[in-house]
Amino acid sequence: MSALPTATDSADPLWVVCLCAEWCGTCRDYRPLFEQVARAHPQLRFGWVDIEDHADIADGFDVETFPTLLVAGADGTRFLGPLLPHAETLSRMLGALQSPQPSSLDVDLLLAVLNKKPATFSV
> Which residue spans within 59-118 are E strands per DSSP?
68-73, 76-82
Let me know if residue 2 belongs to a domain. no
- CATH number of the domain enclosing 20: 3.40.30.10
Let me know if residue 1 belongs to a domain. no
Report the predicted TM-score, pTM, of the whole model to 2 decimal places.
Answer: 0.89
According to DSSP, the β-strands at 15-20 and 68-73 are antiparallel
| Cα–Cα dist 92/12, whole Å | 22
Asked if 83 contacts 89 with a C-beta cutoff of 8 angstroms, the reply is yes
Report the domain count for the chain: 1
Which residue range(s) make up the domain with 109?
Answer: 7-121
Which residues, given as ranges, of the chain have pLDDT below 70?
1-10
Let me know if residue 105 belongs to a domain. yes
Task: Please give the pLDDT value at position 90.
Answer: 97
